[in-house]
Amino acid sequence: MVWPFDEKLLNPASLDVRLGLNLMIEVRDQPELMRIDISERTEDDPYLLLPGEVCLAETIEQFNLPDSISAQFVLKSSRARDFYGHMLAGWCDPAWGSTGTSVLTLELKNERRFHPLPLYPNLLIGQMVFFRMSSIPLKSYALTGHYNNHKTVMPNVV
């Protein structure tokens, strides 16, 4: 279900996920989000998300959920206490990524008023909570989903 799988990321009821290599940011003079590579950024030299700014980000982890499992992304409490925000769009339907694998796109916001927040690859940004379905859904996300098999952060594709 998760690749690459790292046992050190397991929690009692969730799996930690890490920030990936790409962001999509808003720029003043174009309506489309601009894709940027943060692969060279580090904890000592991060990309700085300014107060009130938003971005789309991706996880390092790729997912391939079976028809019987759904998942939800939530921020790590330590990130929330630093005032990272997430737009609460982290629901993953059963069969998401089931015809390949998909990275999760995150909708992040700096909720602070005066200070930037750092973003860099491998930052423990959140966790996935998995749910076993009581039955297989009548409609499969493998057939109806818009965000299957994406290998990088994606904007709205609908």
CA dist 27 and 34 (Å) reads 7
Q: Does residue 4 have a cis bond before it (omega within 30 degrees)?
A: yes
To the query of whether residue 40 is one of the catalytic residues in this protein, the response is: no
Instruction: Report residue 144 as tokens.
Output: 């109806």
As beta bridge partners, residue 54 has 109
Buried b (16+ CB within 10 A) or exposed e, 30-42: eeebeebebeebe
Could you tell me the two tokens for 44? 């000592």
Catalytic residue among 7, 43, 61, 107: 107
Angstrom distance (rounded) from CA 157 to CA 132: 28
Strand 124-132 versus strand 15-27 pairing type = antiparallel
Whole-number Å distance between alpha carbons of 21 and 54: 16
Catalytically annotated residues: 107
